[in-house]
Amino acid sequence: MIFDNVFVPYERVFMQGEWEFAGLLAASFANYHRFTAAAYKYPYVELLVGAAHLMAETNGVDGVSHIRDKIAMLTMYAETISALSLAAVEHPKIGPDTGMAYPNPVLSNAVKFYFADHYHEAIKALQDIAGGIIVTAPSTRDFLSDQTRPDLQRFLTGKEGVSVEDRWRIIKLVRDLVASDLSGLWEVTTLHAEGSLAAQRLATVRASDVQRYRAVASHAAGLD
């Protein structure tokens, strides 16, 4: 964003020459931003897990061991994100000057890093469970056409008890989640929105209680 001779009303100015607070302001923004990223993306990961279950069932492979392993991984991925997000607000930090509570910065950065670092693995798992049909399935126009629908009703049959239309809807959902323009955008923004993985590593180290860690290790080693 480039400001070229732009007038900013004084009531919209956050700082005016107070450079010593600029780093703190940026770090505080990043902390909230990374916490909210993990919190609002958890429902999206829930959707990935649910889609994996539906896709495996409609393909008739929900009892296959490697499919169950992938669904277990997706479930643990989702619930770890939820647990870390909750922990970040259940163990907040209190600003010494303001008394304001804010999400624990170590946990906020850790959950954002965990979500981003494992997101591509989750996408890969769902793609593997679904199979190539998510990109080779016919279009909506084909499915709704009187000319082609009878053939699709015959050849898109999946697990007994699942209608062809339901299977087609599940296929289209998974395509939207892992094989669409939107899913490609999410793969990039997951890594780089709210800061890169390197930024989250750095912020975690900076915010961690290093002296507490050292004290535990020193005590275990019998050091003074």
Residues 111-143: tens digit of each pLDDT? 999 999 999 999 999 999 999 999 998 888 888
Q: What is the pLDDT of residue 39?
A: 86
Residue 164 resides in a domain: yes
Residue 7 resides in a domain: no
Tell me the percentage of the chain whose pLDDT exceeds 90.
55
Vertex 92: Cα angle to 86 and 94 (nearest 5): 165
Q: What is the pLDDT of residue 80?
A: 95
Residue 94 resides in a domain: yes
Q: How confident is the model at residue 179 (pLDDT cuts 50, 70, 90)?
A: very high
**How does the average pLDDT of the chain come out, rounded?**
90
Residue 76 resides in a domain: yes
Looking at the structure of the chain, the number of domains it has is 1
Which CATH number fits the domain that encloses residue 61? 1.20.140.10
Q: Could you read off the pLDDT of 68-111 as tens digits, one per residue?
A: 999 999 999 999 999 999 999 999 989 888 888 889 999 999 99
Residue 13 resides in a domain: no
Residue 209 resides in a domain: no
Q: How confident is the model at residue 175 (pLDDT cuts 50, 70, 90)?
A: very high
Q: Which region holds residue 205: left if phi is over 0, alpha if psi is between -120 and 50, else beta?
A: alpha
Range of the domain at 63: 20-204
Residue 122 resides in a domain: yes
Kindly report the pTM of this predicted structure: 0.85
What's 156's DSSP letter? Answer: T
Q: Residues 114, 166: contact at Cβ < 8 Å?
A: no
Residue 1 resides in a domain: no
Q: What is the pLDDT of residue 156?
A: 82
Q: What is the pLDDT of residue 117?
A: 94
Q: Residues 71, 128: contact at Cβ < 8 Å?
A: no
